[in-house]
Chains A and B, each alone.
Chain A
């Protein structure tokens, strides 16, 4: 290869890298997904203990109205879900900022804002929609709906970050739809979608992008 050719080749690969770096937030760490998944599993396990129920035993409604340890179900689930969300967010932010710092990439910028925005809109709509369903007494559809909306949010956000997120999004949507037509296993599907799927894709992304660093 002649020197000019080598130069052209270098130019082309530089252009490609610039396009990639300037249009996608690539610092998203797979470990963020693994951590979120673990917290979700802890939350789901706590819920199973609270309900006094074994996964896939099919007795969903029996304990819901009773409450355990003197804590009413609404309070228990509200606290459980908020704790999982907050812990998942914090460990997610931790691992992602760590990866960005190691790679010398900016953490907060145009790309981060765009990514968060594309996630937040479908999530907010899904959250409000779920509240409406609880009010209308369609509690059985809440877990499927959150999975579907979360999947849509990921699909939307995958345009602005690592495209593997796209497949995670489709997995969540698929699980949500199965859960919608197979009612009574909301908690089980929640644990699979928010727990196992996150751990699986998080590990895969970690192996693919970060392990060699």
Chain B
């Protein structure tokens, strides 16, 4: 039991971060507004969690202009995808063991 618990990733401690990753793994570039609307978060809260995930290189950032508006999009990195998958596997394992 303890062994599996340690497999749960610290970077995903927060529900919001899991949410961000869930959206990113099934999409290509996703922009900030879409993430905000899907997860129903405020700008500030979303930005801080994105920053945390960016720091551990689970997602990459692309800033560009669409027309005259600045547009920031995010994409999951290979490292992030593996970490997310491992985290899900660990969660499932936990559930299976306790049945």
A78 adjacent to chain B (CB < 8 Å): no
Contact between chains at A5 and B38 (CB < 8 Å): no
6 nearest CB pairs, A to B:
A18-B22, A23-B26, A22-B23, A15-B22, A19-B26, A110-B34
Question: DSSP class of A's interface residues: helix, strand, loop or mixed?
Answer: helix
Instruction: Specify which of A8, A11, A12, A110 is in contact with B31 (CB 8 Å cutoff).
Output: A110
A18 to B41, CA, bound (A): 14
Known A2-B98, A5-B98, A110-B31; contact A21-B91, beta-carbon cutoff 8 A: no
Q: Which residues of A lie under 8 Å from residue B83 when comparing CB positions?
A: none
23 contacts between A and B (CB under 8 A): A1-B98, A5-B94, A5-B95, A8-B91, A11-B15, A11-B18, A12-B91, A12-B92, A12-B95, A14-B15, A14-B22, A15-B19, A15-B22, A18-B19, A18-B22, A18-B23, A19-B26, A22-B22, A22-B23, A22-B27, A22-B38, A109-B34, A110-B31
Q: Is the CB of B27 within 8 A of A14?
A: no
Interface size class of A (residues with CB under 8 A): 10 to 19
